[in-house]
Amino acid sequence: MTELGRLEDLPADYREALARQNLVPLWPSLRALLPPDKPQLRTQPTHWSYKALRPLLMRAGELTPMEKAERRVLVLANPGHSLEKMQASAAIYAGMQLLLPGEWAPAHRHTPNAVRMIVEGDGAYTTVDGERLPMSRGDLILTPNGLWHEHGHEGSQPVVWLDVLDVPIVYYLEASYHIDGPRQAAQPEQAVYRSAGIVPTPFFERRQRDYPMLRYPWAQARAALETLAAAEPGQEPVQIAYVNPETGADALAILGFYALMLRPGQRLELPVRSPAAVFHLIEGSAQAQIGPQRFVLREADTCCAPGFTAVTLANESTDAPAFLFIADETPLHRKLGLYERRNP
């Protein structure tokens, strides 16, 4: 490969003249912008232990009242991007949010898309676009960009959920902002999409919704995975995608969301792909080998895998399945024509 000229090779007066005109020579930085074979990855394999995180989250509940926090979240920050940037990967933000009994997180809407994966507790709800959605462990709740949403808690124990948003890419595009709003007049959940292949067909005009399904109950997702596993008794991966039930498209526009079941004792080598991914263990125990690093995942643990990196998942139990929630950058990569899949 040809060695390119360095910035320091240029005379100081020339560099100063360029700077005065807001000009930068490309060639000293060309290899960093366009490295050979694969990108220079900032995202690092990272593991967040829920056992270690939870006491800090509960202390945040003691230290910071809701009116001082608005959203009480500990961000899962990837050290490869520096902690102050508060992102798990180039396009994924992840954080653990706490809502205590009796609290209400006020209504707002924003340009980033968000989902909530419920980690623990009962009695809380999210109201999205006027639809009140109960929160139970393992449920996935959408809060698409531009829709009003707020959180309330009528139970007796803390409720925690994993937030996943596309904040980093929206912020990079200088399009990230929010608007505060009044408390919503909540209506019951429109639970009309609960059976595969069955959609409502009313005789009269009905309200058209870009996101007809806002809550994906874990009980049904888990049952679907178990049914698939029984129908395919081999070692093939058992995975479902969270999609729009009317169009079959990804549930949200930028990030993809999935649930994966590892059979007892199963070891699964994932294809090496361009998008980064976040793995969150809903049930069971597992190991994640991400490049050279190995993490042991207990329930509610989360880890991040960079793109272009080999990932192997293994169920530690020989008699019980393990279930994982996955968020990745696949929809964004596909829309931009960047999606790649390589041989290990």
Residue 209: other Cβ atoms inside 10 A = 14
Quick one: average pLDDT of 168-177? Answer: 97
Q: How confident is the model at residue 288 (pLDDT cuts 50, 70, 90)?
A: very high
Distance (Å, whole) CA 238 – CA 231: 10
Query: Looking at the predicted structure, is the pLDDT value of residue 206 above 70?
Result: no
CA angle 140, 145, 151 (to 5 degrees): 55
> For tokens 């490295």, what's the residue?
35
Domains plus CATH for the chain?
46-202+210-342 (2.60.120.10)
* pLDDT at residue 3, as a whole number: 86
* pLDDT at residue 169, as a whole number: 97
Query: Looking at the predicted structure, is the pLDDT value of residue 140 above 90?
Result: yes
Q: How confident is the model at residue 343 (pLDDT cuts 50, 70, 90)?
A: confident
Amino acid in the structure at residue 110: H
* pLDDT at residue 299, as a whole number: 98
* pLDDT at residue 161, as a whole number: 98
* pLDDT at residue 205, as a whole number: 59
Q: What is the pLDDT of residues 70-87, one digit of tens each?
A: 999 999 999 999 999 999
* pLDDT at residue 344, as a whole number: 66
CA angle 125, 130, 133 (to 5 degrees): 25
Q: The whole model's pTM is what?
A: 0.95
Quick one: average pLDDT of 192-211? Answer: 74
Quick one: average pLDDT of 197-213? Answer: 75
Query: Looking at the predicted structure, is the pLDDT value of residue 202 above 80?
Result: no
Q: Which CB contacts under 8 angstroms, 24+ apart, belong to 73-77?
A: 73/97, 73/98, 73/163, 76/46, 76/48, 76/302, 76/304
Quick one: average pLDDT of 232-257? Answer: 92
Q: What is the pLDDT of residues 18-71, one digit of tens each?
A: 999 999 999 999 999 999 999 999 999 999 999 999 999 999 999 999 999 999
Sign, CA dihedral 178-332-220-316, equals negative
* pLDDT at residue 197, as a whole number: 76
Beta strands, E only, 28-143? 46-48, 73-75, 93-99, 104-110, 114-120, 124-128, 131-134, 140-143
Give me 126's structure tokens.
């999210």
* pLDDT at residue 199, as a whole number: 77
* DSSP for residue 243: B
* pLDDT at residue 285, as a whole number: 97
Quick one: average pLDDT of 339-343? Answer: 93
Q: How confident is the model at residue 203 (pLDDT cuts 50, 70, 90)?
A: low
Query: Looking at the predicted structure, is the pLDDT value of residue 159 above 70?
Result: yes
Q: What is the mean pLDDT of the chain?
A: 94
Amino acid in the structure at residue 178: H
Quick one: average pLDDT of 304-312? Answer: 98
Query: Looking at the predicted structure, is the pLDDT value of residue 195 above 90?
Result: no
H helix count then E strand count, the chain: 7, 23
* pLDDT at residue 307, as a whole number: 98
Quick one: average pLDDT of 148-157? Answer: 96
